[in-house]
A and B are shown apart, each in its own frame.
Chain A
Amino acid sequence: EPEVTQTPSHQVTQMGQEVILRCVPISNHLYFYWYRQILGQKVEFLVSFYNNEISEKSEIFDDQFSVERPDGSNFTLKIRSTKLEDSAMYFCASGRVEDEQYFGPGTRLTVT
């Protein structure tokens, strides 16, 4: 059964560094999402992406964040200058239609 994959599973970075989190959505899916979960808190929506552009973003998704679908298969989340409070589990999701979101296993980002 096809699934969403994410790499790396764990990323450790220093404050101020740029990180890129990678996701490979399910191949025939059209809708892509990033969520994050800070330890002990709720899963929070960051951004949705459709038709090669951002369709919606939350207030968390500020100028430090960007998303890209560089080659038709990968979907990346970039954080330009990481802060300690960016430490979280980041989940990618994709869907063929809007009413189903298939989630990846997540990337744990630790900012030191």
Chain B
Amino acid sequence: AQSVTQPDIHITVSEGASLELRCNYSYGATPYLFWYVQSPGQGLQLLLKYFSGDTLVQGIKGFEAEFKRSQSSFNLRKPSVHWSDAAEYFCAVALNYGGSQGNLIFGKGTKLSVKP
């Protein structure tokens, strides 16, 4: 069955340090890949997405993610974390794009804490 794994439940980084959040997927073909962020009391905000083409994608708030087919991974990175980045981050895949479908399969999320 298709699945998304985020191995890290909780990560703490210092402000200004670099960040990498891991995401692995299990699927026979190349899925459509997404990263969402959720701040407390807020909805899920789309950070970036990958459908095809350049495997390094840029998103909002200075985030980027790299698709590595050989590792079935789509890790999220940011070179310098800000205190406002503290939130929960969700990796997701969509398997049925085309027509009117587009249901997302989410990972369990990684909670990011930022130390001053």
Chain A interfacial positions (CB closer than 8 Å to B): 3-4, 31, 33, 35, 41-45, 48, 50-51, 55-56, 58, 91, 93, 95, 98-106
Contacts and interface: CB of A to CB of B under 8 A. Distances in A.
Contacts of B96: 56
A98 B102 CA distance: 6
Which size class do B's interface residues fall under? Answer: 20 to 34
Interface of B: 4, 32, 36, 41-46, 49, 51, 90, 92, 94, 96-109
A4 B49 contact: no
A3 to B, nearest CB: 8
A51 B100 CA distance: 9
B40 to A, nearest CB: 10
A100 to B, nearest CB: 6
